[in-house]
Structure 1
Amino acid sequence: MSGLDSVQYPSSNLQGSYGWTDTLKGVYYGPGSLATALPKLLQTLGGTKALVVTGRSLHDKTDVVKKVENVLKQHNAYGGTFYEIGQHSPVSGIHNGLKAFKDASADIIVSVGGGSPIDASKAILYFYQQEKGGDYLRQIAIPTTLSAAEYTVGAGYTNEEGKKVAVSSPQLAPAGIILDAELTLATPDRLWLSTGMRAVDHAVENLYRPLVPPPIKYLCFAALADLFEYLPKSKASPQDINVRQKLQIASWMSLWPLKLEKYSALGLSHALGHKLGATYSIPHGITSCLTLGPTVALKAQVASQEDKEWLSKALFYLREQNTGSLEGDVLKLSGLINGLVKELGLESNLEEYKVPRTDVPKIAELAVGSKDDPTFPGVVKLLEGLYPN
């Protein structure tokens, strides 16, 4: 068992509990849904003045933010736009966003973009609550990628030392989510497809994540089926709105909102991604392309019998034949993941991102928690395999 897994809690028991996040009041989906969904959510949440939080590229190079601003203006709820959120949500941008939120006298945030502005908005609301006290104010998330940050209660951001840190509270989960595929058309193909692989990462790692109830795992099987089908179709036909909408829904299924009684991390691929992403400026979608297939291959050696069974079942939903052994099935799933990365044109290696080979033991230790963890040698070997021969 890896140190990332809980000894006390197997990935799925025949007893447990399931709860929806207390915060989430509605998910609206469909092409063109922005115009009707945003006013409904503002009314439901009692938001009177919204600060739009986004990134510079989306603000400067597309009309997506303008569309959101126009809906807010039509309902006299526009309080300004803050667009200094960079990749991995640097804390300097969060502090500036907090100042903008207060200067606007806003009472709600509308985040637009990928995981960085959505997580940064959570952090802004976290620091605002720490300063002002009382209940957390709310966020409406309008994602334009498939990274699924809108379904979680935590916010990862990069501190002054370049390290990924996090804040978490059930009340930080976005209170409203709008999945409007029309707003994703301007998302660069590489970002769109790589965050789709991030959704694949969510769906796979939820199969061995502790405390996830069985019905959620079956949603993950459905997510995998759709992601494997529609990501290549989206690459072939980037303007197909229906395919993009199906991918947004698949991303939702890959990380279905949960109210867990105890925190449980997703898994090794995500842990490696968190250590690689901020430190070496690798987008999280790309870290999933790098680490997920090899992580699943390692699971064929080190996972529990139950976790291997869940991974093996994924083959049925991908319309693939079983191999005759659990270990063989898990290795086959690893190969299918690597094949999808290649099909989407997302192959890369750590050398391309200037990750020194000498850093490998440190990255592995940070990901598993200790050099004494029994999986540590396997994780070192996994990372070494991410360099060209």
Structure 2
Amino acid sequence: MLSFTYESLPARIKFGRGTIASLADAIEEVAGTRALLLSTPQQTEQAREATLPAEGQIVGHFDGATMHTPLGVTEQALDVLKQTGADCVISFGGGSTIGLGKALALRTGVPQIAIPTTYAGSEVTPILGETVDGRKTTQRSPKILPNVVIYDVEFTLSLPPALSGISGLNAIAHAVEGLYARDTNPLVQLMAEAAVRTLATSLPRIMAAPQDIEARSQALFGAWLCGTVLGSVGMALHHKLCHTLGGAFDLPHAETHSIVLPHALAFNAPMIPEAMAALRRALGTEDPAGALFNLGRTVGAPASLKALGMPEAGIQTAAEQAVKNPYWNPRPVEFEAIRTMVARAYAGERPVEG
């Protein structure tokens, strides 16, 4: 007999092609009149052009967002928010920009409108990861959740195929852990399995034909599902390791997730038979961890943490931090086993179950 708790997150989702035309209405929906636009330096011009439908409601642009949401950057953005008198924020971009919007909302209560241009999925989660002095910590709060998300598939067409693949693998990691989270439930498991299947099918199509609008739409839909899973349940060892590695060695977020994903899954596989069965269905294989490792090679993701610039001594550091205040995990988090797993990910070896 089923018994579970499921709480639906209260965000408004606008999904389709050309949905950016609704931006001005979205600002009104959150009771905003003076919006601060956020982006990374690399997306400055794209952000300004994309948000022209609401040009008259935008009073400033902070384009200093960066990965892992360092506290110093958030403080700079807070100054701009105060100087402009903005009463809402528009986060245009991937996880770095959306994370900055969340950090501002947490501190000031301003409503957020997120316009994702990658497959990160963080736009639909009440979760914020911040970095201070090389250590990344996460927190969860209703204040962190964006109020409106505008998914416009047009903005993903310019995402290079390699970045599309890495971003998509990052999203898949959320769904995979959602399948065996301590507080998972049947609705989350349905979304997670569908998300993995959708992204695993669409990402190779994008690599072959980057302008395939249907493949892009499916990938964006899959990313939304993955983010919804991440926002609905707690995470486990995979996310603990990635936060540790990202904060300690300033490794790129999505690439780190794509590398760690198959290894963390293989580590937990003996303890999660139902999740493995769902992944076998979603991926059409008896070896889900191996299939995810292969998908990484198909989409051109780096295979090793070494390739990202992590020092070999980081294997020991990551294992030590992973066993300190560990997230819940279906398999006990023991130092030697974690060290061995991180070493394989460092070297770019294939994942090994058990």
Same fold? TM cut 0.5? yes
Residue of structure 1 aligned with 2:77, choices 88, 97, 100: 97
Distance 1:34 1:382 in 2: 43
Structure 2: runs of 5+ lacking an equivalent: 327-331, 350-354
Q: Is the 8 A contact 2:106 2:143 kept in 1?
A: no
Deviation at 1:259, TM superposition (A): 7.3
**Alignment partner of 1:276 is 2:245:** yes
Q: Residue 386 of structure 1 corresponds to which residue in structure 2?
A: 345
Deviation at 1:351, TM superposition (A): 2.1
Distance 1:176 1:370 in 2: 34
Residue of structure 2 aligned with 1:290, choices 259, 273, 278: 259
Q: Residue 323 of structure 1 corresponds to which residue in structure 2?
A: none
Distance 1:145 1:190 in 2: 12
Aligned letter for 2:334? T
Distance 2:315 2:169 in 1: 23
Distance 2:84 2:35 in 1: 8
Q: Report SS of the residue matched to 2:51.
A: helix
Residue of structure 1 aligned with 2:125, choices 152, 173, 182: 152
Q: Is the 8 A contact 2:175 2:230 kept in 1?
A: no
Aligned letter for 1:78? I
Deviation at 1:370, TM superposition (A): 6.2
Q: Could you report, residue by residue, the CA deviation over 1:230-275 in whole angstroms, capped at 9, with x for unpaired residues?
A: 0000111112222112111101111316876xxx631211111111
Aligned letter for 1:51? L
Distance of aligned partners of 1:259 and 1:244 in 2 relative to their CA distance in 1, 3 Å threshold? closer
Aligned letter for 1:96? Q
Q: Residue 44 of structure 1 corresponds to which residue in structure 2?
A: 29
Deviation at 1:78, TM superposition (A): 1.1
Distance 2:294 2:340 in 1: 20
Distance 1:57 1:228 in 2: 28
Q: Residue 10 of structure 1 corresponds to which residue in structure 2?
A: none
Deviation at 1:67, TM superposition (A): 2.7
Structure 1: runs of 5+ lacking an equivalent: 1-12, 129-135, 321-328
TM-score scaled to structure 1, two decimals?
Answer: 0.83
Residue of structure 1 aligned with 2:212, choices 226, 235, 240: 240
Q: Structure with the greater relative contact order (CA < 8 A, sep ≥ 6): 1 or 2? A: 1
Q: Could you report, residue by residue, the CA deviation over 1:266-302 in whole angstroms, capped at 9, with x for unpaired residues?
A: 121111111111322222211122111111111124x
Q: Residue 364 of structure 1 corresponds to which residue in structure 2?
A: 319
Q: Is the 8 A contact 1:204 1:311 kept in 2?
A: no
**Alignment partner of 1:54 is 2:27:** no
Distance 2:333 2:21 in 1: 53
Q: Report SS of the residue matched to 1:21.
A: coil
Q: Residue 252 of structure 1 corresponds to which residue in structure 2?
A: 224
Q: Is the 8 A contact 1:138 1:174 kept in 2?
A: yes
Aligned letter for 1:319? G
Distance 2:144 2:250 in 1: 25
Distance 1:122 1:90 in 2: 12
Aligned letter for 2:183? L
Q: Report SS of the residue matched to 2:346.
A: coil
Q: Report SS of the residue matched to 1:254.
A: helix
- Indicate the structure (1 or 2) with the bigger Cα radius of gyration: 1
RMSD: 2.0
Q: Is the 8 A contact 2:120 2:227 kept in 1?
A: no
Deviation at 1:374, TM superposition (A): 4.8
Q: Could you report, residue by residue, the CA deviation over 1:335-354 in whole angstroms, capped at 9, with x for unpaired residues?
A: 11011001111133122233
Distance of aligned partners of 1:299 and 1:168 in 2 relative to their CA distance in 1, 3 Å threshold? closer
Counterparts of residues 1-389 of structure 1 (less than 5 Å) = 14-22=2-10, 24=11, 26-36=12-22, 38-59=23-44, 63-73=45-55, 76-128=56-108, 136-159=109-132, 161-256=133-228, 265-301=234-270, 303=271, 307-320=272-285, 329=286, 332-369=287-324, 374-388=333-347
Distance 2:38 2:248 in 1: 24
Aligned letter for 1:18? Y
Distance 1:374 1:316 in 2: 27
TM-score scaled to structure 2, two decimals?
Answer: 0.91
Over the matched positions of the two proteins, sequence identity in percent amounts to 28
